[in-house]
């Protein structure tokens, strides 16, 4: 190779020697391979799950059908039921026992959830006393006073023979009379009861809410009933029985099946439930049935029970009961709600050409929901179906419902969701809400209805991998939220996850849900952000949307594991994402790509008549010596100046003087070049491009693409994108050569902040002044502006100017 020197003429950000420690041959020491094959940690593909992430040719899953008769005892807040279970063994294995989930046992005082809970307050052996909230004291008293957990009265075979059962915490093993062979099914009946949990005290996923000062003496209730019958534990090809104790955080993994449920409640109650109402003729009035028909093609939600009717309803109360019958096919669970307080509205949603062409979106809420519910709940359901179906598959069920249950916050079941936010009653009788509460209601309805797709249809294992339903769903709810109103803050926005990714004591996303310390960012926003980045930055929308739809369709009504998701996304897009899954899902690394320095270089021509004078210019451009300048300012004469008569050749010729010896050697160099080499050199010299070396550091550990916005001296800008593979052989530091015809004045890394880069101050060359805020002392320290109930505050009258003298404020 001939020597072609690139000489650094300008260095935009200083220089320090950096050891070349990241060699490709290095296999020990600090080198970390960020691009290792993910197959090293994924399960080996088999006949049930292919190497491409598809259900294998012998894929199987169990089916469990339930026929349940249940009675709600409102006066005693108690529920009693009989369930007939049909268990179809589609596994290639013979089963001698079945496991059932007894989630109500979570609330028993001897449960692992309760005994394993810890007290987190200051050590009392200090000057400050330990603290316990009145809320916690109330919980302790309630658990002491109330018998919680399932009462299992009997487990019997179809013919009436008793089956032995053993209760293990929140689980129950039922020993079968004979082994259940592949392809066989067994029918048995469980007779049970339990006291419904007070939602205002223990904040359970299912329970009751009491309105003590309501229209009716003694108050009214909303019952939001979930995890209310012994449900089969899933039996899977990847884990066998998924019998992990229910501790409260990790949710469920369940089997698909058909349900017929008869719910007996006080006659003046309205019941909402998974599935379709089968006996409308018996439980609804003719007017209500007529309104349901009108709702099918209505432009806006139609009241089935109007606010006035609901108010009338809740004043009465009755000892009569009525039985509501519901049917649901191919669902993994069943939940319901019941109250005489319910206002009920409905609006149809059409899916032309789909298996399920007509869907009824419905909301059930008390007057306390106000216009927040009547305006937005049902519309938000339909918006969710529109957006989610576009990304996945047609919504396959006949109903989609939102029920107001304040203690729940937000919780999902097939075709039905429980959502918390409500309006606030003001002295003037109006019900108002803050912007935050409005966004919360719309956001939570989108999120919970979104769960109809993940995990209610794409049936991932929530207990093991919360991110598979919460992360994917939070990603899509952020897409749907932005399509509703772009000003709603999106949970998948990369810049919002930065603080969590910098935090200590965090776990990788792949951690089992009960072990995660911060489930919100870990299982919701971090995976949602990762998926958002995957679509917008790594894969691009076209490749992502195709692969994501493929995953959704392959696994609808089936049971995917993380490896199936990882593999399908790669298989269908052709993009190697092993590094991405590794970095985002298996480590706690964060993103921080820094642009450490840029060198601007000019190509030497090798011609001494040109290169020497260029070098002379560079030397002249250096700042003069301070010492010499000050000597001169003081009038000090140098020896040379004082003795001008003593001179020689070097006083008139500097070290950059060109001689014929230099020219001869240049000519000899040119003659020694091959024709193509000379052509390359001549072209490069005549083009006289600028050569820039950009030095990047990976400070966060997580490899990501390098996205650059480059601004040139003429004011033009250009965005350059280099894939994450740039870090493959040198994961801590890389240099990139840019050759341009224009001079670079400015470079910004990740200009749109799309990679969750945790420290953006090292993204600028030259560095920038950081915009921020400073707040003076005597200021309103309270919450954000959107936490104010402006709807109410706007009614505040302006005080006359002199009233300000007393310094009081009613805000």
What ranges in 235-336 are assigned the alpha helix state H?
280-283, 286-295, 307-315
Q: How far is the CB of 448 from Zn ion (least distance, A)?
A: 7
Cα atoms in the Cβ-side hemisphere of radius 13 Å centred on 399: 29
Q: Are 106 and 247 in contact (CB under 8 A)?
A: yes
How many CA atoms within 13 Å lie on the side-chain side of 480?
31
**Least separation in angstroms between CB 441 and Zn ion:** 15
Distance CA 695, CA 734 (A): 6
Binding mask 453-492 for Zn ion (x = CB under 5 A): -----------------x----------------------
Q: Nearest approach, Cβ of 384 to Zn ion (angstroms)?
A: 13
| Beta carbon nearer to Zn ion, 368 or 470 | 470
The tokens for 172 are 């129950």
Torsion angle (degrees, nearest 10) of CA 737, 739, 740, 743: 50
Shortest Cβ 313–Zn ion spacing (Å) = 31
| Beta carbon nearer to Zn ion, 64 or 479 | 479
Report the nearest approach of Zn ion to the CB of residue 247 (Å): 17
CB 259 within 8 A of CB 464: no
Cβ closest to Zn ion, residue 230 vs residue 421? 421
DSSP 297: T
Residue whose pair of structure tokens reads 């058909």 in the numeric block: 258
Nearest to 341 by CA among 206, 207, 211: 211
Cβ closest to Zn ion, residue 469 vs residue 765: 469
Closer by beta carbon to Zn ion, 180 or else 449:
449
Q: How far is the CB of 447 from Zn ion (least distance, A)?
A: 6
Alpha-carbon distance of 334 to 32, in angstroms, equals 48
Shortest spacing between CB 470 and Zn ion, in angstroms = 5
Residue 526 DSSP label: H
Report d(CA 701, CA 299) in Å as an integer.
52
Q: Cα separations (Å) of 289 from 277, 307, 339, 363, 530?
A: 11, 17, 19, 16, 46
User: Given the complex with Zn ion, which of 470 and 592 has the nearer CB atom?
Assistant: 470
- Which of 366, 521 has the CB closer to Zn ion? 521
Q: Where would I find the H helices in 699-798? A: 790-793
What lies within 8 Å, CB to CB, of 664 at 6+ separation is: none
470 vs 695, which CB is nearer to Zn ion?
A: 470
Q: Give the gyration radius of the chain's Cα atoms.
A: 35
Minimum distance between the CB of residue 243 and Zn ion, rounded to whole angstroms? 23
The interaxial angle of helices 562-573 and 578-585, nearest 10 deg, is 150
Least Å from the CB of residue 713 to Zn ion = 51
Shortest approach of Zn ion to residue 246 CB, angstroms? 17
Q: Are 715 and 687 in contact (CB under 8 A)?
A: no
How many residues bind Zn ion (CB under 5 A)? The answer is 1
Contact assessment for residue 463 and residue 250, using Cβ atoms and an 8 Å cutoff: yes
Residue number of the CB closest to Zn ion reads 470
Give min distance, CB of 251 to Zn ion, in A: 9
Binding mask 151-190 for Zn ion (x = CB under 5 A): ----------------------------------------
Dihedral pair phi/psi, residue 805, rounded to 5°: -65, -30
Q: Judged by CB, which is closer to Zn ion: 92, or 520? A: 520
Q: Compare residues 470 and 589 and give the one whose CB is closer to Zn ion.
A: 470
Work out how close the CB of 358 gets to Zn ion at its nearest, in angstroms, rounded to a whole number: 27
Nearer to Zn ion, 237 or 470 (CB): 470
Residue closer to Zn ion (CB basis): 520 or 766: 520
Cβ atoms of 742 and 716 closer than 8 Å: yes
SS (H, E, C) 422-482: CCEECCCCCEECCHHHHHHHHHHHHHHHHCCCCCCCECCCCCCCHHHHHHHHHHHHHHHHH
| Binding residues vs Zn ion (CB under 5 A) | 470
């Amino acid at each position: 190779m001939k020597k072609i020197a690139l000489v650094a003429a300008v260095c935009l950000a200083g220089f320090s020697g950096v050891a070349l420690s990241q060699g490709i041959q290095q296999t020990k020491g600090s080198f970390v391979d960020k691009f290792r094959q993910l197959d090293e940690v994924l399960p080996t593909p088999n006949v049930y799950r292919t190497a491409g992430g598809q259900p294998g040719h012998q894929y199987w899953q169990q089916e469990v059908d339930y026929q349940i008769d249940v009675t709600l005892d409102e006066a005693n807040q108690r529920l009693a039921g009989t369930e007939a279970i049909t268990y179809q063994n589609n596994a290639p294995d013979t089963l001698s026992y079945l496991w059932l989930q007894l989630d109500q046992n979570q609330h028993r005082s001897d449960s692992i959830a309760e005994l394993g809970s810890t007290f987190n307050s200051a050590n009392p052996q200090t000057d400050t006393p330990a603290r316990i909230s009145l809320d916690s004291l109330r919980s302790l008293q309630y658990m002491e006073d109330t018998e919680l957990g399932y009462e299992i009265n009997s487990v019997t075979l179809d013919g009436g023979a008793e089956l032995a059962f053993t209760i293990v915490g929140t689980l129950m093993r039922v020993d079968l009379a004979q082994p259940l062979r592949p392809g066989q099914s067994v029918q048995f009946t469980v007779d049970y009861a339990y006291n419904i949990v007070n939602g205002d005290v223990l904040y359970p996923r299912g329970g009751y809410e009491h309105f003590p000062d309501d229209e009716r003496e003694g108050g009214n209730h909303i019952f939001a009933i979930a995890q209310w019958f012994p449900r089969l534990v899933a039996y899977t090809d990847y884990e066998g029985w998924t019998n992990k104790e229910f501790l409260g955080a990790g949710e469920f993994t369940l089997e698909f099946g058909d349900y017929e449920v008869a719910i007996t409640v006080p006659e003046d109650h309205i019941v909402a439930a998974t599935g379709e109402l089968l006996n409308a003729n018996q439980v609804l009035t003719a007017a209500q049935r007529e309104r349901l028909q009108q709702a099918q093609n209505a432009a806006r939600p139609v009241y089935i029970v109007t606010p006035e009717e609901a108010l009338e309803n809740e004043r009465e109360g009755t000892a009569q009961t009525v039985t509501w019958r519901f049917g649901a096919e191919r669902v993994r669970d069943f939940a319901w709600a019941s109250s005489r307080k319910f206002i009920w509205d409905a609006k149809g949603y059409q899916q032309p050409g789909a298996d399920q062409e007509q869907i009824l979106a419905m909301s059930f809420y008390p007057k306390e929901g106000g216009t927040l519910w009547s305006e937005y709940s049902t519309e938000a359901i339909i918006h969710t179906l529109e957006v989610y179906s576009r990304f996945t598959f047609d919504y396959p069920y006949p109903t989609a419902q939102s029920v107001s249950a304040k203690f729940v916050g937000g919780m999902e079941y097939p075709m039905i969701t429980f959502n918390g936010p409500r309006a606030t009653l003001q002295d003037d009788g109006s019900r108002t809400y803050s912007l935050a509460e409005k966004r919360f209601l719309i956001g939570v309805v989108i999120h919970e209805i979104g769960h109809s797709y993940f995990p209610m249809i794409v049936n991932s294992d929530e207990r093991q991998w919360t991110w598979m339903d919460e992360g994917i769903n939070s990603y899509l709810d952020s897409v749907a939220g932005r399509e509703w109103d772009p000003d709603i803050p999106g949970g998948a926005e990369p810049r919002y996850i930065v603080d969590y990714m910098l935090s200590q004591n965090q776990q990788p996303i792949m951690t089992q849900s009960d072990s995660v310390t911060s489930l919100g960012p870990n299982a919701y926003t971090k995976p949602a952000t990762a998926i958002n980045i995957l679509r917008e930055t790594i894969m691009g929308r076209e490749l992502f949307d195709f692969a994501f739809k493929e995953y959704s369709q392959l696994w609808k009504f089936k049971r995917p594991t993380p490896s199936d998701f990882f593999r399908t996304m790669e298989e269908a897009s052709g993009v190697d994402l092993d590094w991405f899954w590794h970095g985002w899902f298996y480590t706690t690394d964060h993103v921080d790509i820094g642009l450490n320095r840029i060198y601007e270089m000019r190509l030497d021509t090798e011609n001494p008549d040109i290169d020497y004078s260029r070098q002379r210019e560079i030397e002249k451009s250096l700042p003069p010596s301070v010492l010499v300048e000050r000597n001169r300012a003081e009038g000090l004469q140098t020896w040379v100046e004082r003795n001008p008569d003593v001179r020689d050749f070097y006083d008139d010729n500097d070290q950059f003087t060109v001689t014929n010896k230099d020219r001869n050697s240049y000519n000899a160099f040119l003659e020694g070049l091959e024709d193509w080499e000379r052509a390359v050199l001549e072209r490069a010299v005549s083009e006289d491009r600028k050569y820039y070396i950009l030095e990047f550091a990976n400070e966060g550990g997580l490899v990501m693409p390098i996205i650059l916005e480059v601004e040139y001296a003429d004011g033009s800008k250009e965005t350059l994108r280099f894939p994450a593979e740039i870090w493959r052989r040198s994961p801590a530091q890389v240099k990139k050569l840019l050759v341009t015809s224009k001079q670079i004045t400015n470079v910004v890394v990740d200009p749109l902040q799309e990679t969750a880069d945790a420290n953006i101050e090292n993204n600028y060359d030259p560095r920038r002044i950081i915009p921020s805020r400073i707040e003076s002392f005597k200021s309103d320290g309270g919450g954000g502006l959107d936490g104010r109930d402006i709807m109410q505050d706007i009614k505040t009258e302006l005080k006359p100017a002199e009233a300000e003298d007393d310094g009081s404020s009613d805000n």
